[in-house]
């Protein structure tokens, strides 16, 4: 049951370039989406979120784009820095009923080379 899919297990990018991490979902009831970053031996850290009423949300170097018709979201990191090297998890939730319980993807390991 993969309601949230991150089809690229890893991504390698040069420092200063753009990193684009992709995520697809199947459940049309999802209406709140999040990205978490995880370093080894640490728990996931919230990065950025977007509600389904928007198609873009920006926070500094991080921008999340949502394409509801395609059930696709992406995280853009510009410019990428070596400290961004981590596993990035996409998560989606359904807020109706006040749940907000996220369903996570398997993660994409981002490596940013100096």
Partner 1 sequence: EPEVTQTPSHQVTQMGQEVILRCVPISNHLYFYWYRQILGQKVEFLVSFYNNEISEKSEIFDDQFSVERPDGSNFTLKIRSTKLEDSAMYFCASTLSLGEQYFGPGTRLTVT
Residues that bind partner 1 (CB under 8 A): 4, 32, 34, 36, 41-46, 49, 89, 95, 98-107
What are the two backbone dihedrals, phi and then psi, of residue 15, each rounded to the nearest 5 degrees? -50, 135
CA distance 29 to 22: 19
Dihedral of alpha carbons 37, 103, 57, 11, sign = positive
Closer by beta carbon to partner 1, 4 or else 112: 4
Closer by beta carbon to partner 1, 32 or else 65: 32
Closer by beta carbon to partner 1, 55 or else 59: 59
Maximum C-alpha span of the chain: 46
Shortest distance in whole angstroms from residue 65 CB to partner 1: 18
């Amino acid at each position: 049951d993969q309601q949230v899919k991150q089809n690229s297990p890893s991504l390698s990018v040069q420092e200063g370039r753009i990193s684009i991490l992709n995520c697809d979902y199947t459940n049309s009831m999802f209406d709140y989406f999040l990205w978490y970053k995880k370093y080894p031996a640490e728990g996931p850290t919230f990065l950025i979120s977007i509600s389904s009423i928007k198609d873009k949300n920006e926070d500094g170097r991080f921008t999340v784009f949502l394409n509801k018709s395609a059930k696709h979201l992406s995280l853009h990191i510009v410019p990428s820095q070596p400290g961004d090297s981590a596993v990035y998890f996409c998560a989606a939730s359904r807020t109706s009923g006040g749940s907000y319980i996220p369903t996570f993807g398997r993660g994409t390991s981002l490596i940013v080379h100096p």
